Amino acid sequence: MRILSHQDLLDLVDGAAIFSAGGGGDPETGYSIADNLISQGYTVRLVTPSDVPAEAKVVNFACVGATTAIGYDSDAAVKTLKALEEYASFSAFATIPVELGGFNTLAAVDVAARRGIPVVDADGAGRSVPEVHLKVYTIDDIPLTPMAVADTHAKNVVIVKETMDARAAERIARVLAAEWNQSAYTARRILTGVQVKTSPIQLSLSKSIKIGKILRTTIEPIKAVLKETNGFKLFEGIVDNVEQKTEAGFTFVDVKLKGRHEYSGEKFEFKAKNEVLIAYKNGKLAAMAPDIITPVHPETGKCITAEKIEKDDKVAVLGLPSPEKWRTKKGLELWKDVLQRSTISEEYVPIERLQ
């Protein structure tokens, strides 16, 4: 079991944000969580999936809602986990992040540290995702419920006992988030120690910490990150136009860029539903989910979340291959449903083929 330092936590924020596809919540909130944990004397323990006892219970924890609306209250987040434990009559051995993102990963870390339990070195997606059911656990038919959902100050706490399927649970959580100022906490998908070893994306937090350290210490951070992730630089340019709206628990963003440096005279566009889902270069498909499309600062390489992008910003766009589990038949079917409901009809082509 590894004890994470303050620097480890800050690196985790930056590294997880690289896999966020421009979503996953504001990294600034992640930094604040890291600062508060250390200043308040909490110990953050990272446990590998192989070291989780077979009979242990591990809870997925995250915030759900529009990226423009997310706030954070540690006490309310812990109360949400406790509500699920009380309902289902168990004590969590650990938490596990539902996804990789500058905020959402740290939310699971925070709740674990404040409960005196470890966080598992794994997550449910290997990236950030726009909908609650869109996790690798759904591929493995692991139930999403029971689920505790609370508003950002836990004044309202709802227990969802059972749903027809994981997508139905997504709709319930999304409607509640929309009702509660576009944001909610969720504790859900109680995993066994056996499931933790096989279903989630393994060792993704330690991988994110490594990426964060690369961003912090290398002279050419974008090149170094792309080498580490087998990724591609899709574009670099200046934002020419941004359209944004928040509704139904999502933040929708459409960004158009005009090229600079080696991309001078070229155009690029990407569309986000919390996370960037698809990108076009000169009108042709450049990348699409489940592959990871992340806007970053062209010099530091750090993620710029989609909802923060403004006209005239300088932006580079990275494209990273998705975890292999998303490229299975069932994984692609889950993504196709989400994409079609986001008015994206293109058939998936792996990013390495497009590049």
The percentage of residues in the chain with a pLDDT greater than 90, rounded to a whole number, is 89
Last residue of a domain, one of 177, 204, 231: 204
102 pLDDT more than 80: yes
pTM of the model: 0.96
- What three-state secondary structure class fits 11? helix
Indicate if 168 and 223 belong to the same structural domain. no
45 pLDDT more than 70: yes
**First-residue to last-residue Cα distance in the chain:** 39
Nearest residue to 211 (alpha-carbon basis) of 96, 329, 119, 126: 126
Residue 46 resides in a domain: yes
46 pLDDT more than 60: yes
Q: What confidence tier does 70 reach under pLDDT thresholds 50, 70, 90?
A: low
Indicate if 200 and 269 belong to the same structural domain. no
Backbone angles phi, psi at 135, to 5 degrees: -130, 155
Indicate if 307 and 165 belong to the same structural domain. no
State the alpha helices, DSSP H only, in 96-165. 104-115, 136-139
Q: What confidence tier does 92 reach under pLDDT thresholds 50, 70, 90?
A: very high
Q: What residues contact residue 164 under an 8 Å CB cut-off, 6+ apart?
A: none
Last residue of a domain, one of 173, 204, 235: 204
Provide mean pLDDT across the span 1-30.
Answer: 96
69 pLDDT more than 60: no
Indicate if 171 and 259 belong to the same structural domain. no
Residue 336 resides in a domain: yes
Last residue of a domain, one of 180, 204, 228: 204
66 pLDDT more than 80: no
Residue 29 resides in a domain: yes
Q: What is the pLDDT of residue 67?
A: 64
Supply the CATH number for residue 304's domain.
2.40.390.10
Indicate if 126 and 50 belong to the same structural domain. yes
Indicate if 252 and 307 belong to the same structural domain. yes
The answer to whether 232 and 152 have CB atoms below 8 angstroms apart is no
Residue 209 resides in a domain: no
Supply the CATH number for residue 173's domain.
3.40.1610.10
Q: What is the pLDDT of residue 187?
A: 96
Residue 212 resides in a domain: no
145 pLDDT more than 80: yes
**148-158 per-position pLDDT tens digit:** 999 989 999 99
Residue 213 resides in a domain: no
| Mean pLDDT taken over the chain | 95
Q: What is the pLDDT of residue 181?
A: 86
Q: What confidence tier does 352 reach under pLDDT thresholds 50, 70, 90?
A: very high
Q: What residues contact residue 268 under an 8 Å CB cut-off, 6+ apart?
A: 234, 235, 237, 256, 257, 259, 279, 280, 281, 282, 286, 317
Q: What is the pLDDT of residue 248?
A: 75
Provide mean pLDDT across the span 113-133.
Answer: 96
Based on the structure, what is the number of domains in the chain? 2
Indicate if 96 and 149 belong to the same structural domain. yes
Indicate if 23 and 75 belong to the same structural domain. yes
Residue 282 resides in a domain: yes
The percentage of residues in the chain with a pLDDT greater than 70, rounded to a whole number, is 98
Provide mean pLDDT across the span 80-95.
Answer: 98
Indicate if 179 and 276 belong to the same structural domain. no
Indicate if 118 and 249 belong to the same structural domain. no
**Boundaries of domain holding 109:** 2-204
**187-244 per-position pLDDT tens digit:** 999 999 999 999 999 999 999 999 999 999 999 999 999 999 999 999 999 999 999 9
